[in-house]
Homo-oligomer: A and B are copies of this chain.
C-alpha cells in the first residue's frame, strides 16, 4: 500500500515540482495539494510541463492531515506554525523553508525574526542525506537545506572534515527560479536578460546555515558568501575559494574527495569545472576541486539544480530515507 503524502504550498516553484515528483513516485500517493492564491485551479494549468491533474485546495487540516508524510513549501516564517500543527497530529514532515534549518533560535532571530516554534527545533534534523542519513532515517521533522547551503556544504565537507578550512569565500551564481514565482521588477525578463549582478550583499540569509554546517564538520569559520543572479532559469554554481592551513600542501585532494564521496549515489566528481547544464533536472551535485599552486588556495566548484537537489528532489530523497525506501526512488 502506498504511503500517503500531501504538499502544502504547491503553487510555488519548489512545491509544484515536489508535487510532480511525488505524483509519479512508485511508493507514495499524492493526496492533496494546497495553495493560498490559486485555489480551485489545477496544478497542470499553472505548470503544464509538470502534468499533475490535481486541483489546488485551501488548507483544511481536519481533512488534510491524515497522512504518513507531508511536505511544507511555505515561505520562511509562515511554515513553522503549520509544521507544528502537522507534528501535533503525528505527521512526519519535510519542511522546505528556513524555519528549522538553524539549530540555534538566537541565530535564527538574528537573521530572520523571533522563532515562532522554538520548541520544535530540537527534534528537527538537517536534511542533507550525505551528512545526516542516519538521523534522517528516524526523524519526524526534516529541515530541507537551502539551495546554496546544499551546494556549498557538499563542496566543502571533505576539506572541513580534514581540518583544512581556515577561511572561505563563496561566490555563488543562481538561475532566476531561485527567486521564486512572485513577479517583480527583479524577476522581469527584461531586468535579468543579458545581465548579471550580485544581491544580498553583504549579508545573505544562507550565510549562518553554511557556517553552522561547516562548524559541525569542525571548521569554525566566518565565511563571505555572495550570490549573483544569472540569466538562466534553473541551476546553481558555487565557486569556493578556500584558504587551507599550513601543511595542507601534501594532501591529495582528489583522494580526499573520492574517499568522501565514492559511495554517494548523487555526488559526481569531475576533473573539469562543472556546468549547471550537467546537472539540470537531476538530484546530482557535481563537484571539482583544484589547487592554485601560486597562492596555495584550494578552489572547489559545485553545481546543482536549485529546484531539484537544492529543494524538491532533495525533499523526496529525504522522504525516501525517512521511510526506508531506496534513496533514489522517484528521483533518478
Contact = CB atoms under 8 A, between A and B. Distances in A.
Interface in A171-202: 171, 173, 175-177, 181, 183-185, 187-199, 201-202
Contacts of A198: 237, 239, 273, 299, 301
Given A189-B187, A202-B292, A280 B194 contact: yes
A176 B190 CA distance: 7
A92 B296 CA distance: 42
Contacts of A274: 48, 197
A279 interface: yes
Interface in A295-332: 295, 297, 299, 301, 303
22 contacts: A13-B190, A48-B270, A49-B278, A175-B194, A176-B190, A187-B188, A187-B190, A188-B189, A189-B231, A194-B233, A194-B280, A195-B276, A197-B237, A198-B299, A201-B273, A202-B293, A224-B241, A224-B299, A228-B239, A230-B230, A230-B231, A281-B281
A190 B177 contact: yes
A263 to B, nearest CB: 18
A237 B224 CA distance: 18
Given A49-B277, A184-B183, A291-B202, A195 B239 contact: no
A193 B228 CA distance: 17
Contact of A199 (B175, B187, B273, B295): B273
Give the residue among A177, A188, A223 with the most B Cβ atoms within 10 A.
A188
Given A228-B173, A232-B231, A295-B223, A279 B49 contact: yes
Contacts of A280: 49, 194
A275 B224 contact: no
B232 A194 contact: yes
A203 interface: yes
A15 interface: no
